Amino acid sequence: MPSYAPACHAATDAARTAAQMRARAAWVCDNAGWRSTTPAAWLRFEASAWAGAEPPRAFFTRISRFESITFTAIDTGGTARTATYTEADARPIAAGPVFRLPLPKITPDTALLLVRIAGPHSVPLLTEARIATNPVLAAEPRIDIVLLAFVMGMLVLPLLFDISFFLVLRERFVLMHAGMVAAMMVYILAAGGLVSAYVTLPVRLLAVIGPLSYALGAGLSALFLVSFLERGAQSPAMRRLTIATGWTTMLLPGFCALQLDATQAFDDAAYFVTFLPCIIVISAAVFEALLRGSRSARYIAAAWAPIIIASVERLLRGLGLHVGPASYDELLYIAVGIEVVVISLAIADRFLAIRRERDAALTEAKMLEQISTRDSLTGLMNRRAIEARFDALLAQGFDTFALVDLDRFKAINDRHGHQVGDAALVACAAALRANGDPDAMAVRLGGEEFVVLLRGPRTLERAEALRQAIPMRIAQEVPGLELPVTASMGVVMLADPARHRMTFHAFYARADALMYEAKAAGRNRMNYERLTMFTAAPESRAAGEERVA
């Protein structure tokens, strides 16, 4: 189905009439000088264009805001038929970002059709204007609806991808990219005309949604760039500039996208001009990051190069510096699809990198924790660790506290050196944990002093067995000692730890006193105390104790 472009165009003040515009001298009959900043724009269609064919019945053009459109069909005899419409009369069609209006009757005698567009807000509203018998069939090849649906499908998956990643990563750049994808989906639905295939929205609304969503998406892309690039990929000055550009792009072009009546004289040009800083700054930021060796910047450069090129073409067309068919918009939609796919791959790559970094950090943290809670010589828990966990261990039933001290250990260091002394300490630790008893936990407090916490049956007998194993283990692993290395032990048992709690320091103080009593009694022995708590009056005995030396 053929469509017919205007032969000439003109820009005038609001007072100019159709009768005054009949003369050809008032017109520009080439693709130069398109303007949307004047009160009225005129289009001239001549009957010679459709001579011998079925006359046109409808007018269609790119969706944009305007005050009114007046059609004047002039016959060769001077008869004129006029029809005037407002935005509310326009009907969007699912053939791209296009709306249509009916023409006054075009007869075989019609020589000229003049179109007056009052308060135009967009140059493409003028350059892409056409008349046809059936505008839907004429416009359909301009925007491939199947392509738009395919691109929309490409956008849905990355959006779900971002949501899934955010549940794992909780990184800001994932939210920024999700916002970008959502903005591009709205842009394609509105600016691509895909939404008109499902629901009829007012032209006034569609005219704002498309450019506004693009401004929001462009601004979010700058903020995404800042949060996505690795640390050190941007200089502080470039980082601040990129953030400021992101917010400025959402505010300034976003305001111009509203196409208010009061801003008609400048909002079209201002919308595109205010995009220039965003394009320049983002390009410079990516280039700087590439020079700094950023891996993420490589993905971004590959993803954003097509969309930047397509955006520049759309900018030049929007300013009237370049006139091209609306089918060029398909380049932008394809570029958007490429962008989200490549950036999704970049996010996946970054996800793996962050996972590796976090795994390494967790491993390092565990190593540091182990270093801070383990004795470096024996591998046993140290005093810091046992003090931190003591209440929990007591609640788990470790009700027996056995304090172990090697007898005359200083003499070993003095006679054989600290290296032999260290070997004796390692052998002592091995003896205390030799049987792998899950109900016995050995700790090195420092020097030649150890603690064994026990729970379960026969804790006293098990503690004594561990003490007696120490001399044999040291003799086996540290040959050349003149005398056996024995150990003295003080043991405190709490009868009901669930009801009566004691602090580590209280246990230690009692066990230490018992252990020194054992040393005073001749060393190489155990001294123990069993504590039973009562709820009797203060004058009664508060604790029962049983001592065996």
d(CA 54, CA 110): 12
> Cβ atoms within 10 A of the Cβ of 205, count?
13
d(CA 330, CA 343): 20
> What is the Cα–Cα distance from 129 to 53, expressed in whole angstroms?
19
Query: DSSP alpha helices (H): ranges in 46-171?
Result: 124-127, 135-139, 145-169
Query: What 8-state DSSP symbol labels residue 105?
Result: P
Domains of the chain: 3-141 (2.60.120), 145-364 (1.20.1070.10), 383-548 (3.30.70.270)
* Residue 227 token pair: 């949060």
Which residues does residue 10 pair with via DSSP β-bridges, in sequence order?
42
Amino acid at 156: V
Contact between 122 and 304 under an 8 Å Cβ cutoff? The reply is no
Q: Which helix (H) or strand (E) holds 113?
A: strand 110-118
Residue 533: per-residue pLDDT: 58
Place of tokens 């003040």: 13
Structure tokens at 464: 């004594």
Q: Are 400 and 347 in contact (CB under 8 A)?
A: no
Measured over the CA atoms of residue 184, residue 185, residue 186 and residue 190, the dihedral's sign is positive
CA nearest neighbour of 66 among 197, 200, 202:
202
Q: Please report the pLDDT score of residue 476 as a whole number.
A: 92
The pTM (predicted TM-score) of the whole model is 0.63
Helix (H) or strand (E) holding 498: none
d(CA 482, CA 237): 73
pLDDT of 513 reads 95
| Cβ atoms 136, 3 nearer than 8 A | no
Rounded Cα distance between 351 and 295, Å, is 13
Cβ atoms of residues 129 and 141 within 8 Å:
no
pLDDT of residue 212: 94
Residue 78 backbone phi and psi in degrees, to 5: 100, -5
Q: Which tokens sit at 271?
A: 């919308």
CB burial string 456-486: b at 16+ within 10 A, e below: eeebbebbbebbebbbebbeeebeebeeebb
The three state secondary structure string of 412-464 is HHHHHCHHHHHHHHHHHHHHHCCCCCCCEEEEEEECCEEEEEECCCCHHHHHH
Phi, psi of 203 (to 5 degrees): -60, -40
Beta bridge partners of 70: 84, 116
Residue 365 has a pLDDT of 64
With the C-alpha atoms ordered 253, 254, 259, 262, is the resulting torsion angle positive or negative? Answer: negative
Phi, psi dihedral angles at 489 (to 5 degrees): -140, 135
Spatial separation of the C-alpha atoms in residues 368 and 246, rounded to whole Å: 41
pLDDT value at residue 285: 94
- 452 within 8 A of 381, measured Cβ to Cβ: no
Using DSSP, how many helices (H) and how many strands (E) does the chain show? 15, 17
* pLDDT, tens digit only, all 549 positions of the chain: 678 999 999 999 988 888 888 876 679 888 888 888 899 999 999 999 888 888 999 999 988 999 999 999 999 988 999 999 999 999 888 766 889 999 999 999 999 999 999 999 988 889 889 998 876 665 554 446 677 777 777 777 777 777 777 776 677 888 888 888 888 888 888 877 778 778 888 989 999 998 999 999 999 999 999 988 888 899 999 999 999 999 999 999 999 999 998 998 888 888 888 888 999 999 999 999 999 988 888 888 988 888 888 888 878 877 777 676 666 777 777 887 788 778 878 877 777 776 776 777 676 666 656 566 888 899 898 998 899 889 888 888 899 999 999 998 999 988 899 999 999 999 999 999 876 778 999 999 989 999 999 999 999 999 999 999 999 999 999 988 888 899 999 999 987 766 667 889 999 999 999 999 999 999 999 999 988 754 433 333 333 344 433
CB 448 within 8 A of CB 406: yes
User: Hey, what are 138's tokens?
Assistant: 């004429």
In this structure, are strands 68-75 and 58-62 parallel, antiparallel, or unpaired?
unpaired
Rounded CA separation 200/97 (Å): 12
